[in-house]
Amino acid sequence: MRDVSPGLTQIDEPYAHEFVRGNIWWRQGRDRDLLVDTGLGIASLRQALRTLTATQGLTWREPIVVLTHGHLDHAGGAAEFADVRAHPGDVPAAVTSLHGRTFAQQLGAKPDPSLPEGLLVSASPRAAWDPRHHDVGEITATPAEAGDIIDLGDRRYEVLHLPGHTHGSIALLDRVNRELFSGDVVYDDILLDDLHESDPEDYRRSMDLLRRLDVNDVRPGHGSSFDHYVLQRIIRAYTSR
């Protein structure tokens, strides 16, 4: 866990392989808290947040959870929370195996020598846990569609539907503070548009929408935050290939 800016904490899972080590973003608002994505759900994210809240001398508040898309590394921990929102175009955590080869095959990823053939995690949180058949529990999500507003009191995030990586990929945009939670639609690495749920033509249309946004702080699904200039570079690199 690390504080990125006032009221914003970036969380990841240190024992997960980098391919499935997605970002979890915790934005503490005036009236409500926002949790963008929930990681793999191997250990209890809810308990970790409650502990962190207590160490800060704050009162625990049930967060609004928004899943940027349904892949396991972003939706695996969602079943713990009461208010979960996701685009109906994706089924949250449909692929649940953390065996490297099985995970890649079910996701539709091309063979990657950097992806281990064995397990994608290096530690077990509890006895009798089988990462080859990781049970994420029952995830119930309220539809989050383009134009919906997530209101935290002092910040308002607009839902953007940006298909391409998956059919139901979404991002959250704070137009006033020029902040974007982008999920896996855009991050500073190779963008995946050839998975079972991907559509390159949709991806290009989503990039055209992103190109026109006035944002300065992008909070991606993987890796570190970046600014408007890096965002434009990523978009140019994708659309020119």
| pLDDT value for 113 | 77
Q: How many CB atoms lie within 10 A of CB 106?
A: 16
Residue whose pair of structure tokens reads 């134009």 in the numeric block:
147
**Tokens of residue 50, six digits:** 């409650």
Q: Between vectors from CA 79 to CA 8 and to CA 72, what angle results, nearest 5°?
A: 75
pLDDT band for position 233 (cuts 50, 70, 90): very high
Q: Which of 132-136, 180-184, 214-218, 228-232 shows the lowest per-residue confidence on average (mean pLDDT)?
A: 132-136
DSSP letters for 89-134: TS-TT-----BHHHHHHHHTPPP-TTS-SSBSBS--SSTT--GGG-
Q: What is the pLDDT of residue 158?
A: 98
Instruction: Name the residue range of residue 33's domain.
Output: 2-239
Q: What is the pLDDT of residues 149-171, one digit of tens each?
A: 999 999 999 999 999 999 999 99
pLDDT at 201 over 80: yes
Looking at residue 189, its pLDDT comes to 95
Where residue 67 sits, what CATH number does that domain have? 3.60.15.10
**Mean pLDDT across the chain, nearest whole number?**
94
Domain count, the chain: 1
